[in-house]
Structure 1
Amino acid sequence: MKVREVIAFKNYFEDFLKDQPQKVQDKIFKIIEAIETLERVPSNYLKHLVGTEGLYEARIQLGSNIWRVFCFFDGERLVVLMNGFQKKTQKTPKNEIEKASKIMIEYYEQKSKRNGN
């Protein structure tokens, strides 16, 4: 049973996903399923990015390779997926965080236009 709904905003997530090998795609879908169905998602699957306004990263690991998919909560039960990348350094690259922040702003701007605000 789903406790959350996970959606992708525009084509950012799909563009990232289709560039990944099938095994990585399968692992990403497993993490998304965990986010949708687990009341308390373990932090090794979904973690808030310290120092950001509401940005989270879905964490995917396969062997020694690591990927991240940025997302955020819109309300209590809606998780919005954004851009992803393969992580090659210890710290999350600043340009990836900035890109995710801009996408989140774009999402809320479009949402307010749809709602007529």
Structure 2
Amino acid sequence: MFKLIRTVDRIPQKFLKHIESTDGLYEIRIKVGSDIYRVFCCFDKGKIVILFNGFQKKSQKTPKKEIDKALRLKNEYFNNKKGD
């Protein structure tokens, strides 16, 4: 998946999807056998992929608590970066 992100300009939405109503939060979709996993991420300066929380998806809808956690981690990352 990371090789795909690194080498392809337009990644198919089935692998990388923008989370609606968020400012730059994405969901990496990974399928291993019959299990489906999601890892939230964002891009820093368009080239660096910052990974946040991940979870095993067991339903159609992404749990709001996981999105909230990812948004909190994203905000922490950029707030800490401002302090450097």
> How does 1:30-69 map onto structure 2 within 5 Å?
31-69=1-39
3-state DSSP of counterpart to 2:24: coil
TM-score after normalising by structure 2? 0.93
- Correspondence list, 1:84-103, <5 A: 84-103=54-73
The counterpart of 2:42, out of the listed 65, 72, 85, is: 72
Within 2, Cα distance between the matches of 1:52 and 1:76?
A: 16
TM-score (norm 1): 0.68
Query: Max radius of gyration: which structure?
Result: 1
Aligned length: 84
Q: Displacement, 1:58?
A: 0.5
User: Secondary structure of 2:79's partner?
Assistant: helix
The equivalent of 1:82 in structure 2 is 52
- Cα drift, residue 75 of structure 1: 1.9
Shift of 1:37: 1.3
Q: Identity of paired residues, percent?
A: 51
1: CA distance between counterparts of 2:39 and 2:2?
10
Aligned-residue CA RMSD (Å)? 0.9
Cα offset, 1:63, TM superposition: 2.8
Name which structure has the greater RCO, CA cutoff 8 Å, separation 6+: 1
**1:90 positional shift:** 0.7
